[in-house]
Each structure stands twice: as structure tokens, then as C-alpha cells.
């Protein structure tokens, strides 16, 4: 429960604060890295000196992001997820980074990340404790906003473990207000929607949050990727309509380069997250990632689909081949359309997609020139009523950019 005066002050704030999605940041989906997917809540730096949540880990990821080509293609945010503080707040009520794991302190860590030309994100929880059992921000929203601003953080993920969903519509706007009042720009990532099942009001959320999760947590196996794609295919309550510059539905971390996916599945996962205009927060260990996975993550053609300034989220247009092939469309600048043919089938042979562009609503009289979404290579010219046949690998994808001629 919130303190009464906080609830009252929030009611006043709602009149003043109109648009967090107008806070000037995340005009395209944020690109970066986040600690959770691979490093979880590992705090044992004695047994696991190279993979515990620590300043050393964060600095190494920043080093690799800056030096290995990621920064050059637009990756920017290095985000610390749960399990960074001590289990109790300091005497002044502030969160305290675990001094054994963050001996230099958070401001010094932010300075280091900034010195690489990158930005840094931090995590807290709206409830009385975080999912990992660390102190939550309930009753401390203002203190924590001020602390994160003093540390010069650039992004905040606000989780919802151990909180009441009835408070979200007051609490998330309150945190946005306190962040705004620090004068420091934050990308504000809310677990508001996820915490409420189907209950959240997207209009309200998009006013106060730059990112909101729409599906379950990503885990390192294919079925999980398929399930998230199905959530976007369903597009329940048309959640795609609320995505745009400054306000993004978040499909959760990118697991390319972890353990669970084949090369085709990595392509399908990364291709679809890009079509969805989801933030792309990488989960892999950048120190040891496979070359193929790294090349995919740095594919400029696919990243351009994700980062297209219109900020549209792909929606399902139709299913083909006994519902095995999902056809998603994403409107791009210049009147172009990205067409994804995602094959949800896992039997060991490619599935043929047969369609005409006019079935997709692409009816330009002079037809369309196609380029491959991954390679950028020309892939022919098609009239609206020409039959197109494409064989798509099992749990794989093909993406084409159709440009009106």
C-alpha cells in the first residue's frame, strides 16, 4: 500500500505530468545489453568471479560493447538488472550497492560506462522487495529516483514483484514524476502491463512509460520464443497501436548467443523482435559470443527495420500453409513495407509460402521491388497479382522489404 500523502500528491501530479513518452528519449527502440538473461542473480564472486553481478562484469560488457562493433551499429545501454544492492538500505534510507561487488560505487561505474560513449541502466522494484529479495522502492520512490539521478543513470527498469497491481496506476506515474523532477533524462521501463495480466490501460501506460513488457520472461529455449511471437500475433486489445517514438512494447531480452537456439531460430527470434520494434537488450555474454550470433546482432539491415523512425510494430496479416507460416507486416518510412514470413513448423523440411502481394494489401499498380531483409540484396520485382513462392526453413524466417516502384 502507498502512503496516503503519496497517493494524494499523485492525484495532483496527474494533472501536471502529461507525457513521459515525451521525455525526449527512446525515440527509436533502445538497443543495449541487460545482465539478467545470462547472469541472473549470481552474487557469489568467490566461486564465480567472472560471472557474478559486479562492477567488473558491467565494465567488461561496456568494453566489449564499445570495442567489438556493437556500439558502431547503435547499441548504447548497458543495463544492470536485479541483485546489485545490499539487502538493507543505509541509515539515510538509500539503496547501497554491495561494496564487495561494486567497490567503486555506482557513480564511478556510470562514469566508466559514459567514458566509453555508452549509457547505463539500473533496476528497482515497485514493491516492498525486488524479485530477488533486495529492498524494493515502495515508500522510497522519490529517494530512489534522486539516488539514481545522482549516480547519473540513464535508464530505470521498475519491476513489480511483491507489489499490489491496484497501486500501479498511481505508482508508475509517481515514479515518472520523481524521475522527471530530477531533471535527468531516463528511459523508463515499466513492468506495469506484465504485472496486471490483461488489465493495464495501454493509453495510460504509454503516457508515463517508454517501455512496457507485454509477454512472459524470456528463457533460453525455442518454445518460449514461439510463445512471445504468438502473443504479438494475437495482438490482444490491439496493443500494437500504442507503440511509437518514445513508447515501446517490450518483447523482453534477446537470447541470441546464449545456449538454446539453432542458427535459424536465432534469425527468426532476432528478425521478429526487430519487426516488433521491440527494444533489443542483448542477454548474451559478449566476451564469449559465437561469431555467427555476433554477426546477426550487428546486421545493419535488420537493425534498420527495428530502428525505422516511424516506429510501427509489425502485425499479423495472415497465416499460410495450414497456419504454419505467419505473415507479419511492418510499415517503414518511404512507403516501404517489411514482410516477414515466419515458419512456426518444426518438422525437418522447409514449408512453402504461396501468396500474392494484393492479398497483403500491397496494390501499387507498378509493383514492388524486393530486397532481402537480412542481406540487403535485390530479390526481384513483383506485381500485386503475381504469385510468389518462398520456401521457409523450419522455425526459421525470411524477411523482405517491398518498395513501391
Ligand X SMILES: *[C@@H]1O[C@H](CO)[C@@H](O)[C@H](O)[C@H]1NC(C)=O
Catalytic annotation, residues = 159, 217
Q: How far is the CB of 230 from ligand X (least distance, A)?
A: 4
Per CB under 6 A, 231 contacts ligand X: yes
Q: 338 near 398, Cβ under 8 Å?
A: no
5, 24, 322, 349: which one binds ligand X (CB under 6 A): 24
Distance CA 182, CA 168 (A): 21
Per CB under 6 A, 230 contacts ligand X: yes
CA distances in angstroms from 255 to 154, 203, 376, listed in the order given: 23, 29, 24
Site string for ligand X, 247-266 (x = CB under 6 A): --------------------
Of 45-53, 189-197, 230-238, 304-312, which segment contacts ligand X by CB under 6 A? 230-238
Distance CA 278, CA 52 (A): 27
Burial degree of 385 (CB within 10 A; 0-12, 13-18, 19+): exposed
Residues within window 260-319 making contact with ligand X, judged by CB under 6 A: 291
23, 278, 299, 315: which one binds ligand X (CB under 6 A): 23
Per CB under 6 A, 203 contacts ligand X: yes
Adjacent-strand bridge partners of 244 = 247
Of 38-46, 229-237, 328-336, 376-384, which segment contacts ligand X by CB under 6 A? 229-237
Of 133-141, 179-187, 335-343, 357-365, which segment contacts ligand X by CB under 6 A? 179-187
Number of H helices, E strands in the chain: 12, 16
CA distances in angstroms from 331 to 92, 113, 388, listed in the order given: 50, 34, 20
DSSP symbol at 313: P
Q: How far is the CB of 339 from ligand X (least distance, A)?
A: 19
Shorter beta-carbon distance to ligand X: residue 241 or 372: 241
Distance CA 388, CA 396 (A): 18
Q: How far is the CB of 385 from ligand X (least distance, A)?
A: 25
Other beta carbons less than 10 A from residue 54's beta carbon: 26
51, 185, 363, 364: which one binds ligand X (CB under 6 A): 185
Shorter beta-carbon distance to ligand X: residue 83 or 215: 215
91, 92, 238, 259: which one binds ligand X (CB under 6 A): 238
H or E, element range at 237: none
Q: How far is the CB of 205 from ligand X (least distance, A)?
A: 8
Q: Residue for cell digits 520512490?
A: 141
Distance CA 213, CA 198 (A): 12
Helix axes 222-234, 263-275, angle to 10 degrees: 30
DSSP symbol at 15: H
46, 91, 92, 183: which one binds ligand X (CB under 6 A): 183
Query: What does the block give as the cell for 272?
Result: 521478429
Per CB under 6 A, 19 contacts ligand X: yes
Q: How far is the CB of 227 from ligand X (least distance, A)?
A: 6
Interacting residue ranges for ligand X, rule: CB under 6 A: 17-19, 22-24, 180, 183, 185, 201, 203-204, 207, 227, 230-231, 234, 237-238, 291
Amino acid at each position: 500500500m502507498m502512503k496516503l500523502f503519496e497517493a494524494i500528491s499523485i492525484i495532483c501530479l496527474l494533472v501536471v505530468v502529461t507525457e513521459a513518452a515525451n521525455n525526449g528519449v527512446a525515440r527509436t527502440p533502445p538497443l543495449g545489453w541487460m545482465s539478467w538473461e545470462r547472469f541472473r542473480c549470481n552474487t557469489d564472486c568467490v566461486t564465480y568471479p567472472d560471472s557474478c553481478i559486479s562492477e567488473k562484469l558491467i565494465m567488461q560488457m561496456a568494453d566489449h560493447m564499445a570495442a567489438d562493433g556493437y556500439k558502431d551499429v547503435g547499441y548504447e545501454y548497458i543495463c544492470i538488472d536485479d541483485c546489485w544492492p545490499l539487502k538493507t538500505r543505509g541509515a539515510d534510507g538509500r539503496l547501497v550497492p554491495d561494496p564487495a561487488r561494486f567497490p567503486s560505487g555506482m557513480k564511478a561505474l556510470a562514469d566508466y560506462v559514459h567514458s566509453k560513449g555508452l549509457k547505463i541502466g539500473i533496476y528497482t522494484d515497485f514493491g516492498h522487495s525486488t524479485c530477488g529479495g533486495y529492498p524494493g522502492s515502495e515508500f522510497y520512490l522519490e529517494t530512489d529516483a534522486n539516488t539514481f539521478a545522482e549516480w547519473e543513470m540513464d535508464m530505470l527498469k521498475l519491476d513489480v514483484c511483491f507489489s499490489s497491481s491496484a497501486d500501479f496506476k498511481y505508482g508508475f506515474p509517481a515514479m515518472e514524476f520523481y524521475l522527471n523532477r530530477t531533471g535527468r533524462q531516463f528511459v523508463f521501463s515499466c513492468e506495469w502491463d506484465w504485472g496486471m495480466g490483461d488489465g493495464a490501460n495501454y493509453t495510460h501506460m504509454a503516457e508515463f512509460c517508454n517501455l512496457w513488457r507485454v509477454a512472459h520472461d524470456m528463457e533460453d529455449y525455442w518454445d518460449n520464443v514461439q510463445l512471445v511471437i504468438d502473443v504479438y500475433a494475437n495482438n490482444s486489445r490491439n496493443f500494437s497501436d500504442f507503440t511509437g517514438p518514445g513508447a515501446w512494447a517490450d518483447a523482453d531480452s534477446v537470447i541470441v548467443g546464449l545456449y538454446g537456439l539453432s542458427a535459424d531460430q536465432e534469425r527468426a527470434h532476432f528478425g521478429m523482435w526487430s519487426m516488433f520494434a521491440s527494444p533489443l537488450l542483448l542477454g548474451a555474454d559478449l566476451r564469449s559470443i559465437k561469431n555467427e550470433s555476433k554477426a546477426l546482432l550487428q546486421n545493419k539491415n535488420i537493425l534498420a527495420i527495428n530502428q525505422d523512425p516511424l516506429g510501427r510494430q509489425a502485425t499479423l496479416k495472415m497465416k499460410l500453409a495450414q497456419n504454419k507460416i505467419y505473415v507479419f507486416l511492418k510499415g517503414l518510412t518511404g512507403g516501404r513495407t517489411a514482410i516477414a514470413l515466419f515458419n512456426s513448423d518444426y518438422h525437418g523440411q522447409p514449408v512453402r509460402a504461396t501468396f500474392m502481394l494484393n492479398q497483403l494489401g500491397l496494390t501499387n499498380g507498378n509493383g514492388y521491388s524486393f530486397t532481402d531483409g537480412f542481406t540487403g540484396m535485390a530479390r526481384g520485382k513483383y506485381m500485386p497479382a503475381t504469385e510468389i513462392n518462398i520456401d521457409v526453413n523450419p522455425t526459421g524466417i525470411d524477411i523482405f522489404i517491398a518498395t513501391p516502384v
